[in-house]
């Protein structure tokens, strides 16, 4: 599901991890006032929730145009098995569309308890 406004959007979907685990994601994006449909930047907060109640937040920035989409972010607010999570991730993929887009992320994190 995607809800779009001029300067922000909320997207809901799923993430599939390398180990096959699936998480539900809700992402809230705020777009720069200089953005166009062909390019721009965004600040995004994505909340990941797993079936066991665990989860985390990825706060990231996005830079895109009609050809590429690059992202970088920080992990925070871990819950359950992700409590104490710190780390970062980078991603890239399809330019963000009006409905859905795919971003492949690579990240590393530590759990500090």
Q: What is the CATH number of the domain that holds 106?
A: 2.40.350
Count of domains for the chain: 1
At residue 82, φ and ψ (nearest 5 deg) are: -105, 10
Can you give the residue range of the structural domain that contains 45? 2-111
3-state secondary structure of 81: helix
Give the CA distances from residue 73 to residues 38, 52, 91, in Å, rounded to whole numbers and listed in that order. 22, 24, 9
pLDDT tens-digit series, residues 16-68: 999 999 999 999 999 888 887 788 899 999 999 999 999 999 999 999 888 88
Whether this model's pTM surpasses 0.95: no
Among candidates 81, 77, 66, which has minimal Cα distance to 17?
Answer: 81
Give the end-to-end CA distance of the chain in Å, rounded to a whole number. 35
């Amino acid at each position: 599901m995607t809800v779009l406004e001029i300067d922000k959007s909320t997207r809901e979907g799923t993430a599939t991890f390398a180990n096959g685990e699936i998480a539900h994601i809700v992402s809230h994006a705020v777009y720069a006032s200089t953005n166009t449909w062909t390019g721009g930047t965004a600040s995004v907060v994505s909340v990941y929730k797993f079936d066991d109640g665990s989860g985390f937040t990825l706060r990231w920035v996005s830079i895109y145009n009609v050809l590429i989409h690059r992202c970088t972010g920080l992990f925070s607010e871990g819950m359950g098995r992700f409590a104490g999570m710190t780390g970062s991730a980078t991603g890239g993929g399809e330019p963000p569309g009006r409905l859905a887009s795919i971003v492949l992320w690579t990240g590393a994190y530590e759990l500090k308890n």
